């Protein structure tokens, strides 16, 4: 029976170090998506920011993004090999990371936009019930 622990440790070391860059890469598109949509929703009208609600929504989005990131391990253990000359180790990981980050940045932009829309419609709904 083969011992796969060195392969697993190398895979975890590879992917966990890149998780930091992944998370940092998702912040700008999420904030841009939120900012642009917030400006378009209120069109210059002053409004309150409900920071607690926004922190919860962005936090939940971050948890979801990190859950999606763990699918890299499934890809690693499906395509990976402990042979140093194997193409997955040389090119596949990098391509998977870059492709995944690019797609996640698109989703982060859309997620930021949807958080702004949730905040806007929640504010409209609460104003409608108070008057």
Indicate if the pLDDT at residue 131 is higher than 50. Answer: no
pLDDT at residue 73, rounded to an integer: 87
Please write the tens of the pLDDT for every residue from 6-16: 777 888 888 89
Please write the tens of the pLDDT for every residue from 10-48: 888 888 999 999 999 999 999 999 999 988 988 877 777
Total number of domains in the chain: 1
What is the pTM assigned to this prediction?
0.83
Tell me which residue range forms the domain holding 40.
Answer: 5-130
CB 88 within 8 A of CB 81: yes
Percent residues over pLDDT 90 in the chain: 48
Q: What is the Cα Rg of the chain in Å? A: 20
């Amino acid at each position: 029976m083969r011992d796969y622990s060195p392969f697993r440790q190398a895979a975890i070391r590879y992917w966990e170090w890149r998780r930091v860059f992944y998370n940092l890469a998702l912040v700008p598109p999420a904030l841009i998506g939120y900012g642009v949509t917030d400006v378009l929703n209120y069109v210059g009208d002053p409004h309150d920011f409900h920071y607690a609600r926004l922190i919860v929504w962005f936090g939940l989005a971050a948890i979801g993004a990190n859950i999606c990131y763990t699918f890299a391990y499934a890809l690693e253990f499906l395509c990976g090999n402990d042979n140093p000359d194997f193409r997955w180790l040389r090119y596949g990981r990098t391509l998977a990371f870059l492709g995944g980050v690019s797609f996640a940045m698109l989703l982060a932009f859309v997620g930021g936009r949807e958080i702004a829309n949730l905040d806007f419609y929640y504010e409209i709904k609460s104003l409608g019930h108070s008057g």
